[in-house]
Structure 1
Amino acid sequence: MNVQDPTPFPGQNDKVAFDRHELGAIMGLYGRMVAAGEWRDYGMSFLRDVAVFAVFRRTAEHPLYRIEKRPKLRGKQGMYAVIGMEGQVLKRGSDLRTVLRIFDRQLIRAVE
């Protein structure tokens, strides 16, 4: 029996992605920020070296924040990062939930 690889070019689909638990944490935060009126839209990109969850206030603009996963930085600064609109790293670490806590202040301010 001849079993063929379903991908025409083996190794081409090696992309970084968020797993179910990571997406659950990110989407939980996203839902709270949408309910507070801070965020309106999101986009996701899965590339060879990085997975990105971008947050927008409006659809046709640059992202307010990017939540990135870079597994190659796991042993160095941590593989998760929150990047601001100007490209500055706001928080970096090895635990996604800890990194996402940077938005707690913004969420508290939006509710007041």
Structure 2
Amino acid sequence: MGSLGAMQSRGEQKSYSKDRYMQDDVLSEDKLVPEGIEGRVEYRGPVAEVVHQLVGGLRSGMGYAGAPDIETLRREGRLIQITAAGLQESHPHDVLHVADAPNYTQKN
């Protein structure tokens, strides 16, 4: 994390966040330049539901890649970079959005 709170020293403890953001030589905390914020995310339910969706996505991706197991996917899988326009095109568009799926929500 690059928030101010993460970069501030905590007593005798060293702030590894300062080192990560190349500010470990800054001695005065009012001279730190944070690269993030601190915040909370509202509770959305048990993590089991999120893990279920992640595993489903992994299985789907393995099927598209023709990988029978994770090791094959790791060894032979290939990632490609797409443009912002390609990402937008890959999502539902030009339809009346009726209901969100558990693994896809429309951002307003």
TM-score, normalised to structure 2, is: 0.28
Higher strand share: 1
Question: More helix per residue: 1 or 2?
Answer: 2
Q: Larger Cα Rg: Structure 1 or Structure 2?
A: 2
TM-score (normalised: structure 1): 0.27
